[in-house]
Structure 1
């Protein structure tokens, strides 16, 4: 995993360099500082200590909160060139993207079901991440071999995309860490005590209902189901649904996350999913994506509640 973190750190360092040289962006130094802090965290986070990492997080929040990030027009392919690629290649232009999931799937299966997995080259339970990154590298090589773009094109396009997304690109990691903080300070225990006081003893369905609704609501507040899960699992999922009522942990965990993702569909806090697309598509209503998804999210949440109840307690 250290190699993957280093690879991502170098990528963010490249984004910082591209930001500095992009004179079309009035806030280029703010962008460069933001991506440099991300690079520092990924390259040296395990070596610089908790205090330094905390200061990096405060620095990222400060740069984003005070509007230090902007968007320029870095040198990259023109609209006419992109339209030309689209007209010439059609849907085949998406083929390199398929290299990523195919590599991750095949690599993970081969690693887990052949003697190759006993080599110890990859940290246990981290093989999917490794093959996902390998798939991204292979996809870039396929593009180079097929379309023959300039050598710096992948980094230029990556820089253009990351600046279009901005600070929201790191929001999932931040919010997932926030969930771990909430769990460590006992928020889950408070939720559990409240649930025990409000739900009649032995009412499995009401407990499932509170768990699933809590997953959705906490996700809407924190913007990420991974941040909500430690709180709801510690407060209701593990002590009540699994230990007290004997529910299937796999069903409760997996479908509980899906219930949380229903909350993701309904909140602007999930900025990378709901606000970024609206910005990239230049929609007049920044919440248009959220509004369009509510009609899907609510029935799906209801289905997930029923699935947990009927599958976890067969």
Structure 2
């Protein structure tokens, strides 16, 4: 294996890039802006230019680079074709083909959904180490999920496996989700969903004093209030945990992972977010997987670049196994 590789996490706000040694050491990481104008037509060119600039700065040539791994915020099929990526403005795009047109010297290019990549990263050097199957859930503006089984990312037939944020948990809901459907998990358990629940709880308890009535309501202030014993805030997290616990019970019935990893912006609250999920999961879960461990993500915003690089290593291993078979 060549000594270096690049991991890229393509986000709608910024693009994170990491230069790694193929031993697993992160040499350097940096961020470039995500230019979304003209349907994100310059994003891949900007990534290639940033990698070239870093190689020139460090006097590296392509013959010492194993390849580039990339995570993108949308469904990705087995050959690296993105099946619409709304946050980037992309429709259907074969990313490996587009990148090689920009830089033919890139020998290996692996592309995956960003949460799938982050899941691999957490299994490699984060909170889910020593497991060969995991489901990672990221809680933030939306709800994402990555599924890895036998150390391989599971993408499904159209690249949409793991879209648990759009699992229907309330068919009686009258407000539309951003996806166009009704009653999606994301409507209640994302950061905006949590704030909306808090507003409902306060309306239901007009006479009850609460720290949430003072200032802006955010996931952070909800968790802080709950830690101080605020009854309304505790009720908000209880409702959150019930819906997330039920949803992950359904996921466990299908995937039966060795571990659940909870990450994303909201997971920075730690046990305030993790405990209610785990409590309701154990209440509703089938006995065969009731004791599935829950852990917090450890790599933070770097999980995506770690996992993107790990995909390259897995491809090298697969190639070596195929050569041995021959």
Q: What TM-score does the superposition give when structure 2 sets the normalisation length?
A: 0.26
**Could you say which structure has the larger radius of gyration?**
1
More strand per residue: 2
Question: Higher helix fraction: Structure 1 or Structure 2?
Answer: 1
Could you state the TM-score of these two structures normalised by the residue count of structure 1?
A: 0.27
Structure number with higher relative contact order (C-alpha < 8 Å, ≥ 6 residues apart): 2
